[in-house]
């Protein structure tokens, strides 16, 4: 866990010491959509920014993982989230999904996953022309709505996530991008020794427009999950590289991407995921 916290501080320090000039009032991204968790961000990385007050974003996504050793396919379809800008620099997100699992030789399972309610507070917003990043607090409660026979590492009674997100919009000449990172500690069923588990999540991401009008954007992320004790049917700890493309307008957003996983559990070879997500703001 100490190693995880050190890894969180490294990207934070890089962002703090960045010498790029910031002029967010001159160049702005068209939109900042939600990520797979339902919070404003990239694909998996959560940014410190939030939805405007009293705005609502509805998102639907799919994620499919294919593994050859062991032989299985896990698909989340649909992944549904509702995100609300509850106050200035605060947002609330509700997210759940349905899992479809195919295990060799032909065993299939289907069921609802756990439900997450997440709160984000950007308590240190990025100010205009500031070299310092924005910083946000993330708190998530996890309800055990998942089917127990899925064995995907869900909670039996309750779970929670606690963490921070740091990031900033950087403008340089006629370019604008977002650099951000989040680190979270995940706690599962700490009151029940049979199901107790605690582990860390680290995400570091970069978003950069690749079209003249900044409505087509590229995304690169590094993702890490470390410290899982309860190994599920689809593995445990891993590191990953995520590549994505995002098409945005003032209200509609479409994101597609691929994630390449390096699994760190004996008996599990590397795997890949395909991600698709669409959202609309009101």
- Check whether 14 has a pLDDT greater than 60: no
- Check whether 24 has a pLDDT greater than 90: no
CATH number (domain holding residue 177): 2.40.160.40
* Torsion sign across C-alpha atoms 233, 65, 78, 29: positive
E strands, the chain, where? 56-67, 72-87, 90-103, 107-112, 115-124, 134-143, 159-172, 175-188, 197-209, 216-226, 238-248, 252-263, 271-281
Strand partners, 166: 135, 181
Question: Residue 28's pLDDT is what?
Answer: 62
Terminal CA-to-CA distance of the chain, rounded, Å?
Answer: 39
In which band, very low, low, confident or very high, does the pLDDT at 91 lie, cut at 50, 70 and 90? very high
- Check whether 16 has a pLDDT greater than 70: no
In which band, very low, low, confident or very high, does the pLDDT at 12 lie, cut at 50, 70 and 90? very low
pLDDT tens track for 170-179: 887 777 889 9
* Alpha helices, DSSP H, located in the chain: 2-16
Q: Which of 11-20, 157-166, 253-262 has the lowest mean pLDDT?
A: 11-20
- Check whether 3 has a pLDDT greater than 90: no
- Check whether 17 has a pLDDT greater than 50: no
Number of independent structural domains in the chain: 1
Domain extent for 249: 2-281
- Check whether 137 has a pLDDT greater than 80: yes
Other CB atoms within a 10 A radius of the CB of residue 147 amount to: 17
CA–CA dist 95, 270 (Å, integer): 27
- Check whether 10 has a pLDDT greater than 90: no
């Amino acid at each position: 866990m100490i190693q995880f916290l050190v890894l969180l501080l490294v990207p934070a320090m890089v962002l703090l010491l960045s010498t790029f000039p910031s002029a967010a009032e001159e160049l702005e991204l068209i939109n900042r959509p939600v990520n797979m968790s339902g919070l404003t961000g990239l694909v998996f990385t959560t940014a410190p920014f939030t939805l405007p007050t009293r705005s609502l974003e509805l998102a639907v996504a799919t994620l499919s993982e294919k593994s050859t050793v062991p032989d299985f396919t896990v698909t989340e379809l649909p992944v549904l989230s509702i995100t609300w800008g509850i106050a200035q620099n605060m947002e609330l997100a509700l997210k759940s999904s349905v899992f479809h699992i195919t295990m060799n030789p032909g065993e299939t399972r289907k069921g609802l996953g756990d439900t997450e309610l997440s709160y984000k507070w950007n308590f240190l917003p990025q100010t205009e022309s500031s070299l310092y990043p924005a910083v946000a607090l993330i708190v998530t409660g996890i309800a055990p709505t998942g089917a127990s026979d899925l064995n995907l590492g869900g909670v039996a009674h309750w779970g929670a996530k606690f963490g921070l997100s740091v990031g900033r919009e950087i403008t340089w000449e006629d370019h604008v991008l977002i650099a951000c990172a989040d680190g979270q500690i995940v706690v599962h069923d700490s009151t029940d020794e049979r199901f107790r588990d605690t582990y860390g999540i680290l995400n570091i991401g970069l978003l950069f427009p690749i079209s003249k009008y900044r409505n087509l954007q590229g995304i690169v992320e590094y993702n890490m999950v470390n410290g899982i004790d309860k190994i599920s049917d689809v593995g445990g700890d891993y590191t990953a590289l995520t590549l994505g493309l995002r098409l945005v307008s003032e209200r509609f957003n479409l994101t597609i991407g691929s994630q390449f996983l390096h699994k760190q559990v004996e008996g599990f070879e590397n795997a890949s995921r395909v991600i698709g997500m669409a959202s609309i703001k009101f």
